[in-house]
Amino acid sequence: MTIQKQGSLVCVGTGMRMAGQLTPIAQSYIESFDVVVAAVPNIFTHKWLQGVAKEYICLNSYYEDMKIDGKNRRDTYRRMADTILSEMRSGKRVCAAFYGHPGIFACISHMAIADARAEGYQAHMEPGISALDCLVADLGIDPGTYGMQSMESTQFMIYHRTIDTTALLILWQPGIAGELALKKLETNEEYLQILVNKLARSYSLDHEVILYEAATDPLEKTRIDKIRLGDLPRMKLKQITTLVIPPAKTLERDQSIIDELNAIAAQRGQVQQAA
């Protein structure tokens, strides 16, 4: 008979703006669990969590680690995950709260859940409203129209990736593009030029791209700056900036597949045409 260990973990998202974006189930965990361990940058969200949680532990100060010379930010993320796990191992029901979606660009939650499950604890994740959800709404983009590719900027730079220029391309975190040492949360013009040079293999330097930043509090405005791709290195970017690249080519019909589909439909008396 397997004895379930006392203590559990749930990772939740507070949404990008919290107000109106916090799901009821996430709120119930925040309010009812023994301790809330949080990494949220927004001061309004921080104060709300502090007010409703039975016990509150803020992880924001851990980011100071990255100011230590030679410190890798993966070590900081590991320390955050270990703090969450320590509370769980003490027998508490732990709610780890992250802004946006707890599983999107949030390696801390993935590390903590994997370790908790490996040790025999109950652990799971609840979805939250992410920057991608806000992007789709704010830019009026439907990923189903042309298709969408999505990847982290540095990953795109250092690996061979096949880009479909008939689809929307979203590059996350261009504000730290090319920072291989994982010791800073910023990039520079030279690194961004390398990113542009690689994109120029597929797109014109005159191709219009969008710099997007979701608003994270009621006083903040959503950033939607349309620029030339070639101007990217000289633009001011933040860690939360997202580079959105609209399609550069139109979709081409694969007539052979359309014919095959219609041949099958014809056998059933239902000849159809592709849109």
Which residue is it, tokens 């970017």?
Answer: 237
Nearest to 178 by CA among 218, 233, 229: 233
Cβ contacts of 12 within 8 Å, gap of 6 or more: 23, 25, 26, 29, 30, 95, 96, 97, 98, 102, 125, 126, 128
User: Token pair of 150, please?
Assistant: 């999505």
Which letter does DSSP use for residue 148 in this model? Answer: E
Q: Which residues are catalytic?
A: 73, 77, 99
Q: Say if strands 35-39 and 56-58 run parallel, antiparallel, or are unpaired.
A: parallel
Nearest to 121 by CA among 78, 98, 87: 87
> Around Cβ 272, how many Cβ atoms within 10 Å?
11
Q: Determine the Cα–Cα distance for residues 236 and 246; give it in Å rounded to an integer.
A: 20
Residues in the chain: 275
